[in-house]
Amino acid sequence: LSSNTRQEREVFRSFLTFNRSVLKTNFFKTNKSAVAYRLDPAFVAKMEYPRVPFGIYFIVGPQFIGFHVRFTDIARGGIRMILSNANTYSRNRVTLFMENYNLAYAQLMKNKDIPEGGSKGTILVEPSSTYDKKRTFLQYIDALCDLLVPGQPGVTGPMKGNEILFLGPDENTAGEFPAIAALHAKSRGYKQWKSFT
């Protein structure tokens, strides 16, 4: 086999693994702030990570990509917004999942003596002078709400049942951001909206 053929097969296998891992998505929703996927975390077992998470969300917005990783059904952790310049963005994009995983895992270890497990969310913003932090944060939250609020048109996938995410502040999302997230979740009909503070 040529190296191109091997690379093409590896790319195809990656797409196949991703598609098989999608449990729920808003991809087919007509109006959305960002595309969101709830992934089966089993794929992590084939990678060099110490533990398979309970849940993984992957969010792709107009000017950002992000994840939310949690290690138990009831887990708490903040949402970190990562601001990059042109020199650091490419590296941050390559390492984003690993950073998010490590932050959530550290939160799990920190919470080991309490009932809540650990989680963390990340939003990697593209380097640009035109983005708005609050708007970007709300796009991330809105996409999560698409998957959390039952009965959303255009949201598909084999996963049934409701999930509760416990969010909080972190770097570049402190201050009013948690309250904004909670009120937006409430306006979307998320019954557990207070868990976003």
Known catalytic residues are 120
* Cβ-based neighbour number of residue 176 at 10 Å: 11
Residues 34 and 140 sit within 8 Å (Cβ to Cβ): yes
How many of the other CB atoms lie within 10 Å of CB of 189? 13
Q: Which residues contact 168 (CB under 8 A, 6 or more apart)?
A: 76, 77, 78, 79, 178, 197
- How far, in Å, CA of 97 to CA of 56, rounded? 10
Angle between helices 133-148 and 177-187 (to 10 degrees): 40
